[in-house]
Structure 1
């Protein structure tokens, strides 16, 4: 039996949409508590994101408004992490999950367990879409990727060997290197912030695709003899 396991961020949905949703929540909080123009603050955060990425975005923007302090940055981070995100599955993900509706499907994702849990709740997976989502940090950071811990749990739950489990992820820095030696099959989707990253063979997946529209039973059987 074939079992599919998906990464979450930049695999089933675009992570940038979560970031922007969080920025809107922070902009609203800053308007409420400091009287800042909500739309302008959001615009500034988005511009900072595009120019320099997420690192220190709150520090930069708060400094621009003359209200920077470590306490306010911490509060902004809290609002960002605890907000209820407005995100949705990518269209190719919806079609892919439907295409494989007869197969067991799981998620394995790293990250803050509250943040990842909120994302999973917002995406509102149906039972025939995702059987269970594993947030690795719930089991301790030592079991985050590249640890095979959660993947082995899935193998045990389904009563299959690793050779029957296929993982689809986007990050070659950690998604595949820990599970390939155990026999898990791996597919890298070339999208998101890591799409142009190239690594040595041990870190790369067995197969690359550019969209989940390419993921079919024929592709899997042809490449993995399942």
Structure 2
């Protein structure tokens, strides 16, 4: 039987792309009196391109923006600080998250988060989405000193929850850092199809909406019950 469900954060529980779009639009409106040589659509497009789904640090993103638009270093610092201060006002959850938690809260299933990223920033994201009370353990790579796809961060989470990989599901969106890494350890994997990455070949299940996770959980447990009879 499944005893634990573990989740990635960005692109899995947290709709990072939609949140970033909301933020970028508002940032442009706040500073359009200084970003005078580019329209908002172009600013949005360039920001998302330079960001590379969050794998480029925002200081580098803003450096590329000011270089392209021939803006000042002072404005780069202003925009970066604005991002640090205002981004978490725009956090949006992935579709189906509330429905999924409504199901899981009545089940004897432990929940965990394993996310790469900076501790303070990811903690603010978790707080903005009011996720803390749903989870028994939350591992953030900077705090742990290990990053996905390292096996160590997955096994540490399993150890904390006192479950084996065969008793756990891992839900994530990145083909290598999430799905391939979790599959190597022995998790059942659910890939979140959010438009950011190509489908991994080894995912056990794929969903576009977190509300489908309970149905998969029920399916796995029914299958396991039949096999054990």
Question: Which of the five TM-score ranges fits, normalised by the shorter chain?
Answer: 0.7 to 0.9
Give how far 1:135 is off. 1.1
- Cα distance between partner residues in 2 of 1:11 and 1:176: 12
* Coordinate RMSD, CA, aligned: 3.1
Structure 2: any 5+ residue segments left out of the alignment? 53-59
Structure-2 change in CA distance of 1:82 and 1:138 (3 Å): farther
Matched, 1:121 2:127: yes
**1:104 is matched with which residue?**
110
Structure 2 CA distance, aligned partners of 1:73 and 1:224?
55
Which residue of the partner structure matches residue 181 of structure 2?
Answer: 178
Q: Deviations over 1:157-180 (max 9, x none)?
A: 222212111100011021133332
1:163 matched to 2:166? The reply is yes
1:106, 1:130 within 8 Å by CA — same for their partners in 2?
yes
Q: Can you give the 5+ residue segments of structure 1 that lack an aligned partner in the other structure?
A: none
**2:176 aligned counterpart, secondary structure:** coil
Q: Which structure dedicates a bigger proportion of its chain to helix?
A: 2
Question: Which residue pairs with 1:144 in the alignment?
Answer: 147
Distance 2:65 2:102 in 1: 42
Shift in Å, 1:193:
0.6
TM-score (normalised: structure 2)? 0.75
- Report if the CA contact (8 A) 1:3-1:105 is conserved: yes
Counting matched residue pairs gives 212
- The residue that corresponds to 2:208 in the other structure is 210
Structure 1 position 155, deviation (Å) = 1.9
* TM-score (norm: length of structure 1): 0.76
